[in-house]
Structure 1
Amino acid sequence: MRYRVVFIVGLAVGYVLGTRAGRERYEQIKRLAQRVADNPKVQEAAGLVGARASQVASKAKDRVGEKMPFIPSARSDNSAGGGPGNGLTPTARVGTPTTERGGSTL
């Protein structure tokens, strides 16, 4: 029983010391990451990457619109409504047989 209590106390002390050291290291890494993110050169590079990604996405959208004009989200006029000119073909209405609606089969 005595060894069990000593073991549990050892675990508790190790846990407390480990969490304090872990928290300090976490705060240190957090400060370093914030410094890097606040660096003007990093912000400039991020802006350039974002602008380039936007250009690539725009070109991809145009190419998809040229290759698949029947997809409403790929069309340049963005007419994805339910009316005419939405880029969708009309679907046939699937009805129920007359007998299921209470009518006669004769």
Structure 2
Amino acid sequence: MSKFWLVVGFAAGYVVGSAAGRKQYERIKGAVQDLWGNPEVQRTVKKVDDFVEEKAPTVHDLGAAAVDSVKATADSSEEQAPAGSTS
């Protein structure tokens, strides 16, 4: 019997929540679209996009250098490990 009331509760919550939830969703969606369309927001997006485009090669090079460093450290650790060691 408790499963029945659980299902009834979920169904009622869905029916009540879907109507009110849809209105709230549409309100939030409209606010986000208005914000995204704001010229100041678009200027900031453009600045960030330009910054990332400018810095991407530097970040790539730093990442590659870090990978090489870790690989070299791992390789030297393997060479120094005694025979039969699992570390």
Length-normalised TM-score, structure 2? 0.55
Q: Which residue of 2 aligns with 1:19?
A: 18
Unaligned runs of 5+ in 2: 66-87
Cα shift at 1:11: 5.5
Identity across matched positions, percent? 35
Aligned residues: 64
Q: Which residue of 1 aligns with 2:70?
A: none
Unaligned runs of 5+ in 1: 68-106
Structure 1 pair 52–13 and aligned structure 2 pair: CA distance change class (3 A): same
Q: Relative contact order: is structure 1 or structure 2 higher (C-alpha 8 Å, sep ≥ 6)?
A: 1
Q: Which residue of 2 aligns with 1:71?
A: none
Runs of 4+ residues over 2 Å off in structure 1: 10-15, 58-65
Which has a greater percent of helix? 2
Length-normalised TM-score, structure 1? 0.46
1:44-63 matches, within 5 Å, as: 44-61=43-60
Cα shift at 1:20: 0.2
State the structure with more CA Rg. 1
